[in-house]
Each structure stands twice: as C-alpha cells, then as structure tokens.
Amino acid sequence: MGSPRIIKNGIVDVAFGENVRVVEPVNLYGCEIGDDCFIGPFVEIQKDVTIHSSTKIQSHSFVCELVTIGRNCFIGHGVMFINDLFQNGGPAQGDKTLWKSTQIGNNVSIGSNATILPVSICDNAVIGAGAVVTKNIDQPGVYAGNPARLIKRLS
C-alpha cells in the first residue's frame, strides 16, 4: 500500500489590500484581494484571480483561475465559477489553453448556489440563487433560471 501525498490548504502567495477579513479555513493562493473585502469560510480562490475592493464572498464558494470580480460585489454561499467548458468532451486535463476567463462587473450580486460559466457580466446585475449563467450578460437586470434569463430590467 502506498502513502498519500498530503497537501495542506491555507493562504499562500496572496496580495491583500487593506482591511481584508478572512474566516478560516480557506484555500487562497496566487490571487489578489482588494481593500475592504470579506472572504468567508470554506472558500477556495485560485491563482490568477482578482477580487476588487469591497466585495464579499460567502462560505463554500469556489473561484477558479481566470476570474475577475469587480468592486462592491456580493457572491453568495456555494457559488461555483467554471473555466473549463469540456470542449473536447471531457476535462482539459491540465491544458490551460482550453480554459476561458470570466469577468464580473461592479455592483453585481450573485445568489447562493449559482453556477457561472466563462462569461462577462456587466455592472449592476443580480443573478438569482441557483441560476446557471451560460451567456454574457450585457444589460443591468435581474437574471434567474437555468439557463439564466432576464426577468427584470434595472436602470
């Protein structure tokens, strides 16, 4: 019988702004977190992620590589970001050239258990709990469902 290779979680190589609050346990590495952010417990934020100022990420959320989240955003509990669309019928198997990026604007709220595929979401959007965002969102509004659709315009 072999022995497992134990990889410890924690906070490694993170650029923190001022007044950031982090509730452990978390797994944060190679990312950038702006001023006045909150990171809840059981959150993973991978390398090459930027979280801008005054954003809150609630517990059990996963922010994969190549995600940028704007200022004053709220990411609910259990939100999952995806960067691999399984273009070849399965996982990219480490071929990061197949991964896609996600851009979240400013003042965006994403409800609990939403799934965000590689998309761009404009400023001032609300994504309902459990929504699956499969396409770019380019106008302010409330979006819900699977796939997420506009249900109310915001000015």
103: domain CATH number is 2.160.10.10
Taking residues 1-6, what's their average pLDDT? 90
The count of structural domains within the chain is: 1
State the pLDDT at residue 92: 87
50 within domain boundaries: yes
More confident residue, 9 or 97: 97
Which pLDDT band, with edges at 50, 70 and 90, does 1 fall under?
confident
69 within domain boundaries: yes
Lowest mean pLDDT among 24-38, 48-62, 80-94, 132-146: 80-94
For the chain, count helices (H), then strands (E).
0, 21
Q: What's the DSSP call for residue 97? A: G
Residue type, 147: P
pLDDT at 155 over 80: no
Residues in CB range of 2: below 8 A, 6 or more apart = none
Give long-range contacts, CB 8 A cutoff, 24+ apart: 49-57. 52/106, 53/17
pLDDT at 94 over 80: no
pLDDT at 35 over 80: yes
Which pLDDT band, with edges at 50, 70 and 90, does 121 fall under?
very high
Q: 51 is in which domain, residue-wise? A: 11-84+97-153
- Report yes or no on whether pTM surpasses 0.85: yes
Let me know: does 131 contact 142? Beta carbons within 8 Å: no
pLDDT at 16 over 90: yes
State the pLDDT at residue 17: 98
- For residues 153 and 139, give the distance between their C-alpha atoms in angstroms, rounded to a whole number: 8
Kindly report, residue by residue over 41-93, the tens digit of the pLDDT.
Answer: 999 999 999 999 999 999 999 999 999 999 999 999 999 999 999 988 889 88
